[in-house]
Amino acid sequence: MDNGPVRQRRRRDAEKVSKADMSRERVLISAARIFSVQGYAGTTMRDVAKEAGLQAGSLYYYYPSKDLLIEAVLDMGIHGVSNAVYSTIAELPPSTSYADRIRAAVFAHLRSVLQFGDYALASRRVLGQVPPDVRRKHVLRRDAYGEFWVKLLEAARGAGEIRDDVDVKLARTFILGALNSALEWYRPNGMTIDEVASQFNVLIADGLFRPPPGA
């Protein structure tokens, strides 16, 4: 039996899905850029459609409302960063020290937060403006990622690799705040991302001050 027509139909269907995914990605990239500049209230669906090179009516095919669009943008930002860190840690050998796990998480977070920069900037710009239900969902996802860091730091302290007098929640806030600040000042023509991450790891592990003589 000749199944050529079936293969052709499947190929056409796959091409349609691929094109739809690419268009959806273009919409999200454009939306993140516009939201990060104009804020939630100042952005219209027409603005996003224009940035994405689409007719306004076409945009509603992918996202029927601005609320759904901003929720997708926020999700892309938090999932892009958190999934990069989760997968990096999961791929490490079980024997990896917690110090090295934290160093790897720092590298992964910094790389991904800069990779998804427009999404992260949009999140910082609009979170206080979005509808309460959208904000609530995003905060829950963000808090879950923050809790991952707390557990990682607690495990490091339990293994004796972090001082007992360190408040791990404050340490988490310090680390993520410092890494996220790179969105504001990092420029590709300066230090590389890996060099910046290495400097962050030095500060996290060794601090600013030399140990006293004889210590």
Per-residue pLDDT averaged across 97-119, rounded?
93
- The CA-atom distances, in angstroms, between 137 and each of 67, 68, 75, 130, 134 are 12, 12, 9, 11, 5
What pLDDT is stored for residue 13 in this prediction? 44
CA dist 98 and 111 (Å) reads: 20
Per-residue pLDDT averaged across 15-25, rounded?
60
Tens digits of residue pLDDT in 22-66: 678 889 999 999 999 999 999 999 999 999 988 888 888 899 999
What pLDDT is stored for residue 3 in this prediction? 62
Higher pLDDT, 187 or 89: 89
Provide the whole-model pTM: 0.83
